[in-house]
Amino acid sequence: MSHNHLSEPAIILPAEHGITLDMIDSDALFVLRKLSKAGFSSYLVGGGVRDLYLGKPPKDFDIGTDARPGQVRRLFSNSRTIGRRFRLVQVFFRNGKIIEVSTLRSLSEHDLDGPEAVLASNNTYGSPGEDAQRRDLTINALFFEIETQTIIDHVNGFADLKQGVIRMIGEPNKRINRDPVRMLRAIRHAARNHFTIEERTWLALSANSHKLVLCPAARLRDELLKDIYSGSSAEWFELSCKTGIFYQLFPIYKNRAAFTGVPPESLQPYFRTIDRLNARMKSGGKQPLPDHLLLSLILLPWANEHFQVLKPSQQSSNRDQVSADLRDTIDATIGSSLGLTRSCRQEISTMLAHLPIMSAYHKQNNWPKWLKRKSYFKKCRLLYFCSLEATEQAPVPDHLLLATADSAPRPSSPTPSKRNPHRKSKPAISATHPGGIFGFKR
């Protein structure tokens, strides 16, 4: 598609899409109307439009506009500008709510030639059509205009949304080369919405999964945790296995399906258990379970194969050595590739190493006092009962699940919330090394 000859967009009328103004967050409507009153074009963009059409409550209501960041700031005193490469404005409301407003961007900046081309460091502003072409998936590139209550579709995304199709915008291999994290977003939306990934996109995912290692570890961790806590991790796991993405995120399982006793299907019950646990915590109004617990559950089949952690044993003499061996392997694999904190790595190692003791005393229906006094007892006991739910379909007792969750720290990053407005730190996609693209390693 020529940069100078973008096709005319399709206009989806209210009768066709069914989205009404009362479905949109009141603060987002306030921002849209104020921008419009000041003479600027403004649209509800991206995932908010997608979710409203699908009948889901949007996680975010993001806004696109032709107003420059400085002009937006002057309109909203309760705002700040963030970002280095792409400046956008966060508008703050009560109860910590944040509406993000971004200026429409140019296609020329997105469609550079050559695999080593480095994106320009400044903002290049553009039209709605150009901005839509920059986005990752067609279903995420729809614009909703509140004056006419129409959807503006530059990429045939509405047809894909109706038909349940995941399709990358542009040439998939090239888009993945620019930002490999787009692969995670593609399978995420397929899993959460039970959509089908179209053939060109699927082939590109399978061919390029190895490029995830180019991304910053912290960025991969944050994206992975979104999927683990999504409620659709079992579907996500199936797609990520078929494309090879799972083995890039969890190199501890890489090639083990072929050469040892951990076939992919043996992990499926663990992901289904994670989805059930997350649903129970949400329905009970509780905080999500901690990262280290769910990651330990995912690693349990591997740990059991190599360290027999599900074999009952009252012997505690070698537990420290097993924990150290587990920690060394975790440090060398997912600890490094996902940028897990030292405390998270230690929690995982400790819980997995002490599962044999939990198994032994549970079978006797007796928890000795010395064991209950151990700092790891409650967390390790919960992991053990989670493993029973996965392997024996025995639901975790409510009193264990909820009591442990009450005392557990909040997960570090499944977060549905926006950035902390008081936190001053580098964005996850900023380059940490000279010459990096989107923080990628050279």
d(CA 201, CA 140): 15
List beta partners, residue 153: 10, 142
The DSSP symbol for 318 reads: T
The amino acid that residue 275 corresponds to is D
Q: Are 19 and 151 in contact (CB under 8 A)?
A: yes
Question: What is the residue whose two structure tokens read 């509780």?
Answer: 286
Q: Residues with Cβ < 8 Å from 357, sequence gap 6 or more?
A: 313, 314, 316, 319, 371, 380
Residues designated as active site? 60, 62, 136
Q: Residues with Cβ < 8 Å from 57, sequence gap 6 or more?
A: 51
Packed helices 182-193 and 217-228: angle between N→C axes, nearest 10 degrees: 0
Q: CA nearest 272: which of 234, 219, 319?
A: 234
Coil, strand or helix at 299: helix
